[in-house]
Amino acid sequence: MNPKIKAGMILGIVLMLSMVTICLAQPEDTEACIAPKPADFDKVLVYMANGEFDPSDTGPQSAPDSFYRETMNFTEDQVADEEAKAMQFFMEHYGLDFSETEMVDGIKMIEGVANFTIFSVDERNNYRAYFVSDEAVPSEGWVVRDGGWQVMFLNDTMVHGTYGGEEGKMVSAGSISVYGHYNIDVPGEEPIIIQYQSASPMEVTSGGVMAIDCNLNHPDWGQGKASGAVQPTMETQGDMMKQNWRNILTFPAY
């Protein structure tokens, strides 16, 4: 098992056991209990997604930029500013320069290397935060809205920048790197917004698993780390696909 995935699963188990312990001490009629803050961390969150849907369903779908325009309520100028930040990140992190490439059908492409697109995570994935330290999250969790820009590597590619360094590192074809935001819908309060960017590419293993490895930024909690796994085809029943995502966020990062 990928060490990053294994470590994320172990941390998740520890956190969930801690949450169960404190909840058992609450009155039976309490809808939600205050999640404990694990020692040595300022803030910890646990996301999971278990959505099940027909992938061939071509009904009305949200536009790729709907997260920034409708959820984040960004103006066109704000979206353009974030896009520029995303391109700057991919330039600094991997040495990929999309700034001079033409946008065609929502895609910027470096021929034979990688493409750059905006994305909004499909709400059918049922992505939710079930544990937020120092918060009373109900059993159904809080919905996590997620979107940003991604780079997909079209072929095995040697990259440089802060990730690859002078000698370079090889990134496998089909790998994905992201820059975006989490927007957690907290009923009756302002959403929790966390900016993220890939520390390393999400490479698909032989078992179809992609490891989440992102650096985080929050205005109050500072810098953090997201570690987890995405396995979108864990099981299929008939024509239905079931998602299987686990994501652990910690502030500080380590």
Going by the DSSP 8-state scheme, the letter that residue 204 receives in this structure is B
Q: Which pLDDT tens digit goes with each residue over 184-222?
A: 999 999 999 999 999 999 998 878 899 999 999 999 999
- The CA distances from residue 164 to 10, 94, 233, in Å, are 28, 6, 30
The pLDDT of residue 91? 98
Rounded CA gap, 172 and 176, in Å?
Answer: 9
Tell me what the pLDDT averaged over the chain comes to: 88
The pLDDT of residue 16? 44
Rounded CA gap, 53 and 232, in Å?
Answer: 11
The pLDDT of residue 56? 77
Contact 50, 244 (CB under 8 A): yes
Residue 29 has pLDDT above 50, yes or no: no
Contact 8, 246 (CB under 8 A): yes
Q: Which pLDDT tens digit goes with each residue over 152-190?
A: 999 999 999 999 999 999 999 999 999 999 999 999 999
Going by the DSSP 8-state scheme, the letter that residue 88 receives in this structure is H
Q: Is the dihedral of CA 21, 187, 247, 164 positive or negative?
A: negative
Rounded CA gap, 6 and 16, in Å?
Answer: 16
Residue 117 has pLDDT above 50, yes or no: yes
Longest dimension (CA), the chain: 61
Please, which pLDDT band fits residue 60 given cuts at 50, 70 and 90? Answer: low
Please, which pLDDT band fits residue 134 given cuts at 50, 70 and 90? Answer: very high
Spatial neighbors of 230 by CB under 8 A, at least 6 apart, are 202, 209, 210, 212, 244, 245
Q: Which pLDDT tens digit goes with each residue over 222-250?
A: 999 999 999 866 455 567 788 899 999 99
Closest CA to 113 of 95, 136, 138, 88: 95
Confidence (pTM): 0.86
Give the structural domain span for 139: 3-251
Total tally of structural domains belonging to the chain: 1
* Count of residues in the chain: 254
**Section 95-102 average pLDDT:** 96
